[in-house]
Amino acid sequence: MYSEVIENPTLILKRLLAIYEVTPAELARKIGVHRATMLRIINGDIKKIKEEYFKSIAEYFSLTIDQIKGLKPIYWENIKGVLNLQVGRRIPIYSWQLDGNKLVPEIMDRTELTTLTDIEVSDNAFSLIIKDSIMEPLFPKGTIIICDPIKEVTNDAYVVVKLHNYNQLILRQILIDIDYKYLKALNKTLNASMRIMTPKDKILGVVVQSKYDFH
């Protein structure tokens, strides 16, 4: 019987590795798969992945084989940092494009979009929908990020930034040195260089939660 794939297994695996902070080499070692084979799986170079690999990966992440294959949804509410939609309050979704220095609501069918969060955030919290792949694998296209302007900015946090010479918001990981702050993209395949923050750049919020709908 044919089963519809909800999401690409490669993307699922990349996201799990990022959330659990496990490298491909570590996963390969722990489940007894050759490192080169694991890299080929993650890069999507193996068109037909062996069932035994699916089984080992599923057992490692305490998921089912069908969830790893993308045939069944993953209940991301059980994974740290991902939203539980059982309870919560609505947060406005904004556009990445600014109106001057003002945040602009994201609108669909003349309706301002909102999303739910189940954690405590300030009244000025906002959200954005990821539109590109520069922060994959942790934030693939379609991910909704919840941001809080009053959250303390710490090293390795994910921040939404308004660059002084750019009229769009960007999402980056911030690396804090003694004298400098660097903005880092996650997608290594794009070869995006790190940027040093200037005094004119402004952090508008820290990512406190994310959600990704695989349906």
- Residue 1 inside a domain? The answer is no
93 and 187, same domain (yes or no): yes
124 and 153, same domain (yes or no): yes
What three-state secondary structure class fits 18? helix
pLDDT 10s digits, 141-180: 888 899 999 999 999 999 999 999 889 999 999 999 988 9
Helix (H) or strand (E) holding 103: none
What does the radius of gyration of the chain's CA atoms come to, in whole angstroms? 19
Torsion sign (Cα): 67, 72, 77, 78: negative
| pLDDT attached to residue 86 | 45
What three-state secondary structure class fits 94? strand
116 and 22, same domain (yes or no): no
- What 8-state DSSP symbol labels residue 132? S
- Residue 84 inside a domain? The answer is no
pLDDT 10s digits, 118-142: 788 999 999 999 999 999 888 888 8
Which residue range(s) make up the domain with 71? 9-75
The CATH number for 66's domain is 1.10.260.40
104 and 136, same domain (yes or no): yes
Other beta carbons less than 10 A from residue 15's beta carbon: 23
148 and 187, same domain (yes or no): yes
**Mean per-residue pLDDT, 50-72:** 90
Number of domains in the chain: 2
